[in-house]
Chain A
Amino acid sequence: MRGGAIPLFSWGTLLLVLLIINLIWAGSQIQSEMFAFAVTAVYATALALSVARPESLRRGPPVRESAPEAVPRTSLAAMALGISMGAMMFGVVFGKFLVFIGGGVWLLAAGRLVVEVRAQRRSLRGEEEER
């Protein structure tokens, strides 16, 4: 999608400038490290977008895309992933059994997520073949 990565790169660069000023002026190790993490996180997101869609670095409005898109309606797996994370973490203070149950649910949910994503890709391929 055109232009999507440009604001991210620009914002990352603004952060980088502030990081450099911080390094020169303050020079604290932990501050530089945290700030460098922030810059890296923003640049990494921008880079990932640019690698996935090189046109995200081109200026101008997006053009129409004709390929169909698959949008899931529901995802039991995603809900179970979130809840299992909560259960595992809560288990740290509440009781180990919750960590194990949460871990089990997490594995099942991850497996189910793979099934969901594959079904989504299959339906997209089917639609493209029909065309």
Chain B
Amino acid sequence: MSATARKPRTILAPSPRLPGWIGVFTSTDHKRIGSNLFIASFCFFIAGGVMALLMRAQLAQANSAFLTNDSYDALFTMHGSTMIYLFVTPMAIALGLYLVPLQIGASSISAPRVALAGFWTWLCGGLVMQSGWFASGGPGSDGWFDFAPLNNATFTPGTGQTMWNIGVILAAAGLTAMAWPLVITIARRRAPGMSMLRCSMFTWTELISVLMVIASFPVLILAMTGVLIDRSGGHVFSGFRGAIDYQNLFWFFGHPVVYVMFFPYLGAAAEAIATNSRKRWFGYSAFILAIPSFGALSMAVWAHHMFTTGGVTNQYFAFTSTMLIIPAGIEYFDAFGTMIGGSIVLRTSMLFAIFFFIQFFVGGASGIFVSSPPLDYHAEDSYIIVGHFHYTLFAGSVFGFFAGIYHWFPKVTGALLREKLGKLHFVLMVIGTNLTFAPMFWLGQWGMPRRIARYPTHPGWMPLNRLESIGAGIIALGVLVFLINVWVSLRRPVAAGNDPWHGQSLEWWTTSPPPEHNFTEPLPPIRSYAPLLDLRHEAEDRRRAQQEETPA
């Protein structure tokens, strides 16, 4: 065994294990916190999805009276807020909390109590936000962005909106609290031999994501605190300057969060592609140079959301936004380079990963529209924007999320998901996603504004809207198939074993599901970012050498 192999350190567990649900809810095991966060945010995903279906039901017909204007405003606000603050972002952190310590060979996370407190703070935030549905006047209804002056008590009265603000503060504080332990864990708890340049792609994407959380989420908390003061009669964001200042503060969170919601799923797709191509990830060095550059640039593009306000320097933000194409292009080259010459296995995780890249390309390419001020002036407030960000966050991130789920489900549960159901889920998702979001580009081009509860009879609008509503129904069906798959796979489990896919990173070294402190066996030598692939190659080389030595 090489010098890097080691026995795990002695681990003391000073606090007792509590029985039953209390034990589950108070566990400081990173896997339990990650699982709890996963389950809670998936429940919010279902809730957000139901809201989307209601909106699509309203928009299926011109001049529909299915929902009132106020109900529609509440639904689109809560749909966006639920998906962003309570599903995609926390899910990205949940995957990190569960998988990063396993991938870097750590027995636990640093500061697990901070992560646990963060989880509960975030959950309370989610519940407070959703409890706005029971408030008189309904929940928050001025969009997930809560722009000034719409966010003050004059234009959006009611406790539901204040609860929304409080919910956002709590959720952001909780997510920040969960991000810190991940940064410290990656920095301090890597296994012997695991240098930063040997960390897996997923770990790198998580690192940059959580750094972006730390750098940008406090600004959101500050903005929301200002809004709360305004709602109590203060004048933090008053006048034109106040509105511009609020937008600066909000988008300083609002754009980086898009990448917080993207990077970990990119990492998941990268892991799925490398494993299912049975090949080392191509261009690793370029990848880990591109990811931090991508992250840094994405911290500097926020005001491209504000081109039309006339309150920002458009040239700087157009420049930084356009620069994003360089690191993004590198990711694509790496993904294709990995697949070229690989022995590709088209498992469900691979299909989702490939379509993550294909569909995100549509989101990215339409992003060029909105990063260029003259084109953005044309597209602003039209359905083009809705199509763009849904291709980024749903057709991109959610596909990366499902790639990760199909890839790591056996590790987490010890059971394999059913491939046939998985492929049915995939097909429904591809059809549903493209039926729902592609027509939005045409609708936007034909002048349909976003955030409207009803539209007049207009040639072309209703057929496309109806198509989108059918697509949304197909997505819902796809998610239902996924839930059935999970249920069936857990009810009648097919044992996965430690490493069903011939994985490349350290999480596949341990049992499925992993034990309390992750590794009971000494870790293998870590000489690259794919230590298990190295082991297999070494074994193969040895076998070949033996065959050559054996006389015929």
A: residues with CB less than 8 A from B are: 1-8, 10-11, 14-15, 18-19, 21-22, 25-28, 30-31, 34-35, 37-39, 41-42, 45, 49, 53, 56, 59-79, 81-83, 85-87, 89-90, 92-93, 113, 116, 119-120, 122-124, 127
Chain A residues contacting B186 (CB-CB under 8 Å) are 4
Tell me, rounded to whole Å, the shortest Cβ–Cβ distance linking B3 to chain A: 9
Query: Is the Cβ of B207 less than 8 Å from the Cβ of A7?
Result: yes
Report if B208 contacts A (CB, 8 A): yes
Chain A residues contacting B299 (CB-CB under 8 Å) are 15, 18, 35, 38
Per-position binary interface string of chain B over residues 118-157, scored 1 when its CB falls under 8 Å from any chain A CB and 0 otherwise: 1111111101100100000000000000000000000000
Query: Is the Cβ of A71 less than 8 Å from the Cβ of B108?
Result: yes
Selected from A6, A77, A90, the residue in CB contact (under 8 A) with B166 is A90
With contact pairs A7-B196, A30-B248, A69-B12 given, residues A53 and B214 touching in the complex (Cβ less than 8 Å): no
With contact pairs A61-B195, A72-B28 given, residues A22 and B187 touching in the complex (Cβ less than 8 Å): no
Chain B residues contacting A31 (CB-CB under 8 Å) are 248, 303, 312
Query: Is the Cβ of B214 less than 8 Å from the Cβ of A123?
Result: no
Query: Is the Cβ of A75 less than 8 Å from the Cβ of B112?
Result: yes
A119 to B152, CA, bound (A): 48
19 A-B residue pairs with CB within 8 Å: A4-B196, A7-B207, A21-B300, A21-B316, A34-B219, A61-B195, A61-B198, A62-B191, A62-B194, A68-B10, A70-B11, A71-B112, A78-B28, A78-B112, A82-B119, A82-B122, A89-B170, A120-B12, A124-B12
Report if B90 contacts A (CB, 8 A): no
Nearest chain-A residue to B248 (Cβ)? A30
Tell me, rounded to whole Å, the shortest Cβ–Cβ distance linking B461 to chain A: 38
Per-position binary interface string of chain B over residues 242-259, scored 1 when its CB falls under 8 Å from any chain A CB and 0 otherwise: 000100110010000000
Number of inter-chain CB pairs below 8 Å: 242
With contact pairs A34-B219, A72-B28, A116-B113 given, residues A41 and B214 touching in the complex (Cβ less than 8 Å): yes
Report if B193 contacts A (CB, 8 A): yes
Query: Is the Cβ of B9 less than 8 Å from the Cβ of A61?
Result: no
Query: Is the Cβ of B166 less than 8 Å from the Cβ of A72?
Result: no
Chain A residues contacting B193 (CB-CB under 8 Å) are 61-62
Report if B378 contacts A (CB, 8 A): no
Count residues of B near A (Cβ-Cβ below 8 Å).
Answer: 90
Selected from B120, B188, B192, B292, the residue in CB contact (under 8 A) with A7 is B292
Report if B190 contacts A (CB, 8 A): yes
Query: Is the Cβ of B121 less than 8 Å from the Cβ of A85?
Result: yes
Chain B residues contacting A38 (CB-CB under 8 Å) are 215-216, 219, 252, 299
Chain B residues contacting A116 (CB-CB under 8 Å) are 15, 113
Query: Is the Cβ of B303 less than 8 Å from the Cβ of A69?
Result: no
Chain A residues contacting B124 (CB-CB under 8 Å) are 82-83, 85-87, 89-90
Chain B residues contacting A113 (CB-CB under 8 Å) are 113
User: Which residues of B315-341 have CB atoms within 8 Å of chain A's CB atoms?
Assistant: 315-316, 319-320
A3 to B41, CA, bound (A): 33
Nearest chain-B residue to A83 (Cβ)? B120
A59 to B295, CA, bound (A): 23
Chain A residues contacting B128 (CB-CB under 8 Å) are 86, 89-90
Chain A residues contacting B28 (CB-CB under 8 Å) are 71-75, 78
